[in-house]
Amino acid sequence: MAILPLPMEPTETLTETTLVSDRSRRFGDLRGVQWRIDLGILPSSPSSSIDDLRRVTADARRRYATLRKQLLVDPHLPKDGSSFPDLVMDNPLSQNPDSMWGRFFKNAELERMVDQDLTRLYPEHGSYFQTSGCQGMLRRILLLWCLRHPEYGYRQGMHELLAPLLYVLHIDVERLSEVRKTYEDHFTDKFDGFSFHENDLTYKFDFKKFSESMEHGNGSGKGSANASNLTEVDPKIQTIVLLSDAYGAEGELGVVLSEKFMEHDVYCMFDALMNGSGGAVAMAEFFSPSPFSSSHSGFPPVIEASAALYHLLSSVDSSLHSHLVELGVEPQYFALRWLRVLFGREFSLEDLLIIWDEIFACGNCKLNKLVENDFDASSGVLDSSRGAFISAFAVSMILYLRSSLLATENATSCLQRLLNFPDDVKLEKLIRKAKSLQALAVDANNSNPLLTQAGMFERSKSTVVRGHSLSLDSTSPRTPLTSVPDSYWEEKWRVLHKEEERKQDASEKQAPSNRKGWSEKVKLRLSRTESDPSPSSVDKRKKDPKLSVRRSLLEDLARQLGPDEDTENIVVDKHIDEKDQGVENGQDFIDENFACTSEQIGLSGNTGSEENSSIFSDPPSPINGVDNHGNESGRSSVASNSSLDENDGGANTADICGDNPEGSPRPVSDSPDDVSLQSGQNEETAAEKSMVGLKERKLISSKFQWFWKFGRVAGEGLSEKGQATDANKGCSGGIDHDNITGTSTANGGIIISSESSKVETVDQNVMVTLRNLGQSMIENIQVIESVFQQDRAQAGSSKNILVGKGQVTALAALKELRKISNLLSEM
């Protein structure tokens, strides 16, 4: 009646960094049993005896056997066991889906799908997985599970979840046979030779008597483990023996490590894994396309889980997170595979078993009781410590690839790296890292990531942009970042530039000064970007970056409208000031700091002439529209995006200028391209507007930008000057497209013509952008006005750069701007 001492209790004192295998768990070396306990099939309380385990096992197996009988359909047997089947319904060609044959065909279809996947399962371990016995078992299990859960059906990946479960049971059975060999005697049937105590129903081994009769010991196997008494044997071996004793509780059906009932056990494990055993992480949810019942976001659980992953990543390593977001790498692109097969595809089978040890060791009870029925308390599919570990592990995998991910600049190579996880990874490190992140993950999972996703993405993106832009940029532009092929933009650039040249030519009379001013301006800009601003200007600059931006915008606009004395004066003034290096007013900064937008706005502040004003009224809108559109369509790199941001048009250009001088012309060209595009679009949409004006503007801006670009690229004024002259030559009076195409400048009229056709083909919804433009213009105007007022107040001070005339023209330009914005808002 000796009751065997139970195997040692699982130690609860674990440090965070120990792996599961380090802990002395109850069935440490019997993964199959351990996993069954973790998954909730077998009782997990430390006090449950072997018998309890056996009983539970037996019950589970019985359930499976009945299930099998129910679901495996033999169509020849009449339905409901009646001997007079209704043949009209039950014939093979019956369309009736309820008929035996209908079900048979459905099952056959399902089986075919399952088979497709199974044949490709673990080919590298084909010696086990590709054997027909194993395949048959897997097929049946999957088929039965899918029939039992028709709402999920069969999805690819389920077989990969199932295979390791079968594998661990297989390993256990092998271990058992090893032990059998070495400890043969313990496994012999002794039930006949002993008398039993009444109470000793379950244990047929009467070990005291056993030891007496077996004094000579086993003779086999382990030298020191030559124990004749089972109690003297290593407790682990004891366990194995008891678990596999055919005469223990429930007899053969209760043999926990049994080869015969492997299918039953694996089915139970698979079922528990998929259902989550009442916990939070139910793998089946990852396969369902419909939103989790209790989730508040309308997304499928796997999307939610991927978002939770990113959420955790953002709290752990925000720069990597923002980098990934910036590249447009959505979490579910790689997380889908990771989550659905619990990292089965990323690691080898042995490694995977270790990882799954860890995963299953975490409890699966829902941590977040649904307190409120609102956003925050959505219990996601990862809402348990197991789920937290899963997401923490995924994040640690991402972090492992950190350096290579940060190095890539395009989404596909990022995904490639994430999806081809390196083989030579130190698993312990990953697991330790995951454990350390686990606590964080619990919080991350609790807050519903997806509902804030949009905002988060916006925020993160804007953060990114902000990070790239200079400190001048105070409001965050919300420009998504996408990359645009170089050639397209360069073309646009050139076309725009052509047009700008033409514009330039129109003001031929002021050509020399204009040119000079232009080139000077470019040079100015260049020097500005490359040199530090003078202290006083720095202060001012810092104070009123926006003001300066807007001021230059205005000037650009004025310039575009038509070359004007005053405009020239402004330019000249600026130039002079630049020479003086006494630039303190923000305007210089404006000039320097702006690339495209400044050009667009034009130098001329004079809008007195009707013609000018009419042109004036048109250009800004497309430009701004361009800006807006640029913002919304999110072109090219960060710099360009910031430049295109119409909220902070000036700031953006400031960024560009102030930003790396070597910054690719491409960003700059983007804006003119945008401008041209937008103009083109405007042409399409705002037919009532003077399209010509639009085109003009586009041309001008492109020209300017081209200038700017060349100025930058060339590095100094020389080339600029050359370009300026070219541009000026290129601009021959007329302001229409044909003229532009006619003119063949250094940049080639071909591009222009192609551009024009391209422009026409572009169609967008600029209306909204235009409206926004109008509003921003109003803001700009206000800013500029205030600046002017400031200047006026400082009349006579050295800080006053603008001569009186310039001021007047600027004011006039402001008024025009206002008109334009009104028009726009009416649109």
Partner 1 sequence: MVLVLALGDLHIPHRAPDLPAKFKSMLVAGKIQHIICTGNLCIKEVHDYLKTLCPDLHITRGEYDEETRYPETKTLTIGQFKLGICHGHQVIPWGDLDSLAMLQRQLDVDILVTGHTHQFTAYKHEAGVVINPGSATGAYSSITYDVNPSFVLMDIDGLRVVVYVYELIEGEVKVDKIDFKKTTAAADSTH
Spatial distance between the Cα atoms of 553 and 601, rounded to a whole number of angstroms? 5
- 580 and 794 Cβ atoms separated by less than 8 Å: no
Question: CB of residue 246 vs partner 1: minimum separation in angstroms?
Answer: 35
Bridge partners (DSSP) of residue 602 are 557
Q: Which is nearer to partner 1, 114 or 561 (CB)?
A: 114
Q: Which is nearer to partner 1, 75 or 734 (CB)?
A: 75
Question: CB of residue 243 vs partner 1: minimum separation in angstroms?
Answer: 40
Question: CB of residue 101 vs partner 1: minimum separation in angstroms?
Answer: 9
Question: CB of residue 108 vs partner 1: minimum separation in angstroms?
Answer: 8
Spatial distance between the Cα atoms of 403 and 411, rounded to a whole number of angstroms? 15
Q: Which is nearer to partner 1, 95 or 293 (CB)?
A: 95
Q: Which is nearer to partner 1, 104 or 421 (CB)?
A: 104
Question: CB of residue 77 vs partner 1: minimum separation in angstroms?
Answer: 12
Question: CB of residue 455 vs partner 1: minimum separation in angstroms?
Answer: 50
Query: Which range of residues in 83-91, 167-175, 272-280, 619-627 is near partner 1 by CB under 8 A?
Result: 83-91
Question: CB of residue 94 vs partner 1: minimum separation in angstroms?
Answer: 8
Q: How many residues does the chain have?
A: 827
Question: CB of residue 71 vs partner 1: minimum separation in angstroms?
Answer: 17
Q: Would you call 602 helix, strand, or coil by DSSP?
A: strand
Spatial distance between the Cα atoms of 622 and 619, rounded to a whole number of angstroms? 6
- Eight-class DSSP state of 600: H
C-beta neighbour count of 420 within 10 angstroms: 10
C-beta neighbour count of 262 within 10 angstroms: 20
| Residues 101-160 close enough to bind partner 1 by CB under 8 A | 104-105
Query: Using CB under 8 A as the criterion, what x/- string covers residues 22-61 for binding partner 1?
Result: ----------------------------------------
Both tokens of residue 73?
């359909």
Nearest 10 degrees: CA dihedral of 626, 630, 635, 640? 90
Nearest 10 degrees: CA dihedral of 397, 403, 405, 406? 140
Query: Which range of residues in 86-94, 117-125, 541-549, 755-763 is near partner 1 by CB under 8 A?
Result: 86-94
Q: Which is nearer to partner 1, 12 or 74 (CB)?
A: 74
Question: CB of residue 100 vs partner 1: minimum separation in angstroms?
Answer: 12
Q: Which is nearer to partner 1, 101 or 360 (CB)?
A: 101
Q: Which is nearer to partner 1, 92 or 193 (CB)?
A: 92
Q: Which is nearer to partner 1, 93 or 793 (CB)?
A: 93
| Residues 446-475 close enough to bind partner 1 by CB under 8 A | none
Q: Which is nearer to partner 1, 92 or 278 (CB)?
A: 92
Nearest CA among 575, 503, 519 for reference residue 720 = 519
Contacts with 135 (C-beta within 8 Å, 6 or more apart), sequence order? 118, 119, 129
Residue 337 to residues 160, 351, 403, 426, 811, Cα–Cα distance (Å):
11, 17, 22, 21, 61
Residue 157 CA to its chain's centroid (Å):
22
Question: CB of residue 361 vs partner 1: minimum separation in angstroms?
Answer: 46
Q: Which is nearer to partner 1, 85 or 221 (CB)?
A: 85
Question: CB of residue 87 vs partner 1: minimum separation in angstroms?
Answer: 4
DSSP string covering 46-74, please? TT--HHHHHHHHHHHHHHHHHHHHHHS--
Q: Which is nearer to partner 1, 86 or 530 (CB)?
A: 86
Nearest 10 degrees: CA dihedral of 299, 305, 311, 313? -150
Spatial distance between the Cα atoms of 726 and 720, rounded to a whole number of angstroms? 9
Count of positions on this chain that bind partner 1 (CB under 8 A): 11
Q: CA end-to-end span of the chain, whole Å?
A: 95
- Eight-class DSSP state of 541: H
Amino acid at 733: G
Question: What sign does the dihedral 417-423-426-429 (CA atoms) show?
Answer: positive
Nearest CA among 338, 320, 316, 317 for reference residue 329 = 320
Spatial distance between the Cα atoms of 58 and 125, rounded to a whole number of angstroms? 30
Q: Which is nearer to partner 1, 76 or 208 (CB)?
A: 76
DSSP string covering 701-762, please? HHHHHHHHHHHHHH-SHHHHHHHHHHHHHH--S--SHHHHHH---TT-HHHHHHHHHHHHH-
Q: Which is nearer to partner 1, 71 or 767 (CB)?
A: 71
Question: CB of residue 99 vs partner 1: minimum separation in angstroms?
Answer: 11
Nearest CA among 176, 166, 174, 126 for reference residue 353 = 166
Q: Which is nearer to partner 1, 101 or 518 (CB)?
A: 101
Residue 181 CA to its chain's centroid (Å):
53
| The binder of partner 1 chosen from 76, 260, 509, 792 (CB under 8 A) | 76
Question: CB of residue 103 vs partner 1: minimum separation in angstroms?
Answer: 13
| The binder of partner 1 chosen from 43, 75, 235, 363 (CB under 8 A) | 75
Both tokens of residue 305?
């889980």
Spatial distance between the Cα atoms of 523 and 719, rounded to a whole number of angstroms? 10
Question: CB of residue 35 vs partner 1: minimum separation in angstroms?
Answer: 37
Question: What sign does the dihedral 407-411-413-415 (CA atoms) show?
Answer: positive
| Residues 742-781 close enough to bind partner 1 by CB under 8 A | none
Q: Which is nearer to partner 1, 147 or 282 (CB)?
A: 147
Q: Which is nearer to partner 1, 107 or 800 (CB)?
A: 107
Nearest CA among 374, 398, 392 for reference residue 445 = 392
Q: Which is nearer to partner 1, 92 or 153 (CB)?
A: 92
Question: CB of residue 104 vs partner 1: minimum separation in angstroms?
Answer: 8
Amino acid at 413: S
- 715 and 721 Cβ atoms separated by less than 8 Å: no
Query: Using CB under 8 A as the criterion, what x/- string covers residues 585-604 for binding partner 1?
Result: --------------------
C-beta neighbour count of 576 within 10 angstroms: 16
- Eight-class DSSP state of 604: -
Query: Which range of residues in 85-93, 132-140, 644-652, 670-678 is near partner 1 by CB under 8 A?
Result: 85-93
Question: CB of residue 110 vs partner 1: minimum separation in angstroms?
Answer: 14
- 50 and 242 Cβ atoms separated by less than 8 Å: yes
Question: CB of residue 106 vs partner 1: minimum separation in angstroms?
Answer: 12
Q: Which is nearer to partner 1, 109 or 376 (CB)?
A: 109
- 631 and 623 Cβ atoms separated by less than 8 Å: no
Query: Using CB under 8 A as the criterion, what x/- string covers residues 87-106 for binding partner 1?
Result: xx--xxxxx--------xx-
Amino acid at 795: A
Question: CB of residue 64 vs partner 1: minimum separation in angstroms?
Answer: 25
Judged by the rule CB under 8 A, the positions of this chain that interact with partner 1 are 75-76, 87-88, 91-95, 104-105
